[in-house]
Amino acid sequence: MARSLLALAKTLCFILHVQSCTCGEAEIIGGKKVKAHSLPHMALLYNSEEEPRCGGTLLSSTWVLTAAHCFKYKIDTVRLGVVTIKNSKTDGFVQARKVARQYQHPCYNADTNIHDLWLLKLSQAVEETTAIKYLPLANTISDPKEGTICMVAGWGLVKVDIKEMSDDLMSADVTVIKRETCNLTKYNNTGYTITSDMVCAGTVEENQVVRDTCQGDSGGPLMCNGEQVGITSFGIGCANRTKPGVYAFLSKQHIDWINGKIKNESYSEECATQ
């Protein structure tokens, strides 16, 4: 499986721009405030200046899954159980951990944003509480069908023109868009290609407020029917109907790498030359 996907990836010859050019971090646009502690697996990732930069998911007591491109922010601390950024350092529900070790997916490519996965091993175990829960991945996750309503969440920007993280955790419903559609020229003016390791989701109804992830939401989960199916990865700008959000899909290959790493940190995977 891994091999055939890699072979496919190789032949696609991506000339993608992504993340780097526009929507560096994602924000939830058109969403609503999340009830305190109702997404107890949400992680908030901070850089060395103590600034929040990305989201993530707590998979187990010591592992957090996020996006590989968040690496550029020099993430060094993870906070769990956060409700508002303002109170994240004083809130008694919050557990903060240093990042002890980190692993980018060996096949991650910053130019194409393929395999945008990053695993953080925490310095010390996080305890489960009413505010904090682990969300282990399933062994296989089926490809979400076109039209599936999924949820995204994060502390990213809530307005495209206000470059500031949201104090509150926000969430929004987005609809899965077929890869072939998302890959069409109409959706691809900035030149990226959607692969089988990515999922597109956005706002499909003409008469509804546009919902999307944006800067600061990167690394957070795409949840479909209560299960994590993807990781917020990139987009061309934010909240443009013809530029839906793109998520790293937790394909069999990705799950095998994550679960392999969690079992044995020396586990690796061979990549096709990029």
Ligand X SMILES: *[C@@H]1O[C@H](CO)[C@@H](O)[C@H](O)[C@H]1NC(C)=O
Residues forming the active site: 69, 116, 218
- Quick one: which of 40, 89, 82 has its CA closest to 216? 82
Minimum Å gap between C-beta 173 and ligand X is: 20
Q: Which 59-98 positions form the footprint of ligand X (CB under 6 A)? A: none
Binding-site member from 15, 138, 162, 272 for ligand X (CB under 6 A): 15
Q: Which 196-255 positions form the footprint of ligand X (CB under 6 A)? A: 240, 242-243
Instruction: Give the residue at shortest CB distance from ligand X.
Output: 191
Minimum Å gap between C-beta 130 and ligand X is: 34
- Quick one: which of 170, 237, 250 has its CA closest to 202? 237
Q: Does 194 bind ligand X (CB under 6 A)?
A: yes
Distance of CA 164 to the CA centre of its chain: 19
Q: Does 264 bind ligand X (CB under 6 A)?
A: yes
Q: Does 20 bind ligand X (CB under 6 A)?
A: no
Minimum Å gap between C-beta 168 and ligand X is: 25
Pick 164 or 180: Cβ nearer ligand X:
180
Rounded Cα–Cα distance for residues 121 and 145 (Å): 32
Q: Which stretch binds ligand X (CB under 6 A): 28-36, 44-52, 166-174, 178-186?
A: 178-186
- CB neighbours (10 Å) of residue 2? 16
Rounded Cα–Cα distance for residues 18 and 128 (Å): 36
**Residue 47: CA count within 13 A, CB half-sphere:** 11
262 within 8 A of 255, measured Cβ to Cβ: no
Structure-block tokens of residue 61: 């007591």
Binding-site member from 50, 143, 180, 205 for ligand X (CB under 6 A): 180
Pick 20 or 240: Cβ nearer ligand X:
240
Rounded Cα–Cα distance for residues 157 and 196 (Å): 28
Binding-site member from 90, 139, 207, 266 for ligand X (CB under 6 A): 266
Q: Strand 221-224 vs strand 227-234: parallel, antiparallel, or unpaired? A: antiparallel
Structure-block tokens of residue 207: 């008469």
70 within 8 A of 220, measured Cβ to Cβ: no
Binding residue count for ligand X, defined by CB under 6 A: 18
Binding-site member from 185, 206, 226, 270 for ligand X (CB under 6 A): 185
Binding-site member from 193, 227, 269, 271 for ligand X (CB under 6 A): 193
Rounded Cα–Cα distance for residues 227 and 196 (Å): 19
Q: Rule CB under 6 A: which residues touch ligand X?
A: 12, 15, 179-180, 183-185, 188-189, 191, 193-194, 240, 242-243, 264, 266-267
